[in-house]
A and B are shown apart, each in its own frame.
Chain A
């Protein structure tokens, strides 16, 4: 994927750039708002990563607003040291697609970026989701694996649906908490891990090949391949 990173802090920029390049992405970097806006509007990118506070007369929100006004729909991940709920809402209202507070783990950034860029792909009107031999029927809210029908509690279903819609991608605990539970805070203990292990009991127990994998230091991934 081709990604534009607009970030004035050299240390952070280098860290993100290195990580994304190693993951096989092409990364362009601008260290001020004016250059960032110019590059974002003159070239086609798969995703933008924007810092909010930037030198160069145009800040992150300014870039987003300018791009959205011209009909540019490139997915945008906002990076910011401003952690207030209000700031987050402002960022998303301006047209950002996701908001990540500094400091962040690279795994979190990558997972969110991937979730953004593939979001459009399977949000269609399909009635069933499929990963390996696991099929989730959206209408009956039941899953089938190896001829066995599995039923879920409402939240388990939502959790599995989210994981299946992001099949093959790493999904972090924070992403699950935000998207499955709609909570935007740190629940301190490993509550999500316990939910995941319950889900794992239901879909993986008794089968040779596990589908729900733990990605160390990042989160979880649902996929056929380990």
Chain B
């Protein structure tokens, strides 16, 4: 395929040119039928009438009458377009304005369109051949050279118009192609830069707000998302390197220590139990990471069902209540009735559980934790866990939901630093968000989730 035709824009332009030409041809055909065709039909009617008149004369007045009528008509024909010829059965002329029977007119009566010498010129003529009583042959016709010339003129015009249309089509195709190419080039160049590793590149916008700008905006959003994900992966790798390496190193050291015990001493069961506990902690981190990865794919949405928020909140408070009590904390819960959302009960319970777990962990004895669920003004359902603990400094709040992030205050507490990331991922999966506010004193974590429509 030639290079020009490989371009989508060119092909598009050519298809449109083709359609345009077909429409033009249809129009020309209709025009021809209504004008030239009309003239043709008129001519045929006149010829038929003439033939009938002359035929009638021969019946009423004989041969001489017919010849006379013919001559009268020839004389009356000012533009000299009429053609008349009457012959005997052996085709010898008896009268008329043609010298001899035209060779191209056959013996059978009917319509003929032939060239014959008329007015000393070779002209196109339309002829009707009839056989009269007594086997006399009558030929009546009209010189239609004008019409033929008109038709040729028309066709020539049409051909030129076609050539011009084709030219315009190619020109248009070239214009469209150049315009499209120029827009695509930006996307192409950005894509190449990204392939070469420059992830920060974005496709330039034109501010034309056309389809291309919309496409470019979508592509740029996609690139933002990809960049964010890749950075996420990078962060996770760093965090894994840090948070998994430490317990792995501990476990390894512990096991190797057991191995190096002097021969004959009993292997310490406590050492083995501690190693298993280390490994269980590692498994916990892996499970949390896998669950986060699963949440990030969004596949869990397939299992969404109606969840009664009041029951969800009540169950969570019931599960964590005793643990709070043991720490000398009061856990109160309340939920508005009739709140229903479309989601995954297990994940939501785990998210609320993580928030309660944090609250129990970080709130000092004598404190209070309040779990409640209300319908917000924007119709979303807000499930919040508020505690009277130390809270999180404002500048740290956005960072605590990052994977493996641990605030300075919690660096030595139990846990792997994935709890809030998981809550945030669950919120995102449900089309909502996790917000962290101050509680004066303490922290108020709010899961804002869309209610079921």
Contact = CB atoms under 8 A, between A and B. Distances in A.
Binding between chains A and B: yes
Interface of A: 83-86, 103, 105, 155, 181, 183-191, 194-195, 198, 217
A153 to B, nearest CB: 8
Contacts of B284: 186, 188
A9 B354 CA distance: 35
Given A86-B303, A187-B357, A195-B322, 13 more contacts: A83-B287, A86-B302, A103-B279, A183-B353, A185-B349, A186-B287, A188-B284, A188-B415, A189-B323, A191-B319, A191-B320, A191-B322, A194-B322
Interface string B335-379: 000000000001001100110010011000000000000000000
B360 A189 contact: yes
Contacts of A83: 287, 290
A188 B351 CA distance: 12
B303 to A, nearest CB: 7
B362 to A, nearest CB: 12
B300 A85 contact: yes
Contact of A194 (B280, B326, B346, B357): B326
Contacts of A190: 323
Chain A binding surface, main DSSP class:
loop
B96 interface: no
B290 A217 contact: no
Given A188-B419, A191-B323, A198-B322, A85 B346 contact: yes
B273 interface: yes
Nearest to A185: B350
A37 B319 CA distance: 42
Q: Which 6 A-B pairs have the closest CB atoms?
A: A194-B322, A185-B350, A194-B323, A191-B323, A188-B357, A187-B353
Interface of B: 273, 276, 279-280, 283-284, 287, 290-291, 294, 299-300, 302-303, 315, 318-320, 322-323, 325-326, 346, 349-350, 353-354, 357, 360-361, 415, 419
B290 A187 contact: no
6 contacts: A185-B346, A187-B350, A188-B357, A191-B320, A191-B323, A194-B322
Given A85-B300, A103-B283, A188-B357, A183 B322 contact: no
B361 A183 contact: no
Nearest to B344: A85
Contact of A189 (B280, B325, B361): B361
A155 B325 CA distance: 16
B271 to A, nearest CB: 15
Given A103-B283, A194-B323, A189 B346 contact: no
Contacts of B319: 181, 183, 187, 191, 195
Contacts of B326: 194
Contacts of B291: 185
A46 B353 CA distance: 38
A195 to B, nearest CB: 6
Nearest to B290: A83
Contacts of A191: 319-320, 322-323
A188 B326 CA distance: 16
Nearest to A101: B287
Contacts of A217: 273
B225 to A, nearest CB: 23
Contacts of A105: 276, 280
Given A183-B346, A189-B323, A191-B319, A84 B357 contact: no
Nearest to B282: A103
A80 to B, nearest CB: 13
Contacts of A181: 315, 319
A85 B361 CA distance: 28
A41 to B, nearest CB: 33
A103 to B, nearest CB: 6
B349 A155 contact: no
A103 B279 CA distance: 10
Contacts of A187: 319-320, 350, 353, 357
A117 B219 CA distance: 57
Contacts of B323: 189-191, 194
Nearest to B299: A86
Contacts of A155: 318
Contact of B303 (A85, A103, A194): A85
A103 B287 CA distance: 11
Contacts of B353: 183, 185, 187-188
Highest count of chain A CB atoms <10 Å: which of B280, B322, B360 = B322
Given A155-B318, A191-B322, A183 B415 contact: no
Contacts of B273: 217
A144 to B, nearest CB: 24
A184 B415 contact: no
Given A191-B322, A194-B326, A184 B346 contact: yes
Nearest to B302: A86
Highest count of chain A CB atoms <10 Å: which of B294, B353, B415 = B353
Contact of B349 (A103, A183, A195): A183
B331 to A, nearest CB: 12
B296 to A, nearest CB: 13
B280 to A, nearest CB: 8
Contacts of A84: 294
A101 to B, nearest CB: 8
Highest count of chain B CB atoms <10 Å: which of A105, A155, A186, A191 = A191
A155 B279 CA distance: 32
Contacts of B280: 105
Nearest to B288: A186
Nearest to B346: A184
A177 to B, nearest CB: 9
Contacts of A85: 300, 303, 346
Contacts of B283: 103
A188 B280 CA distance: 12
A189 B320 CA distance: 9
Contacts of A184: 346
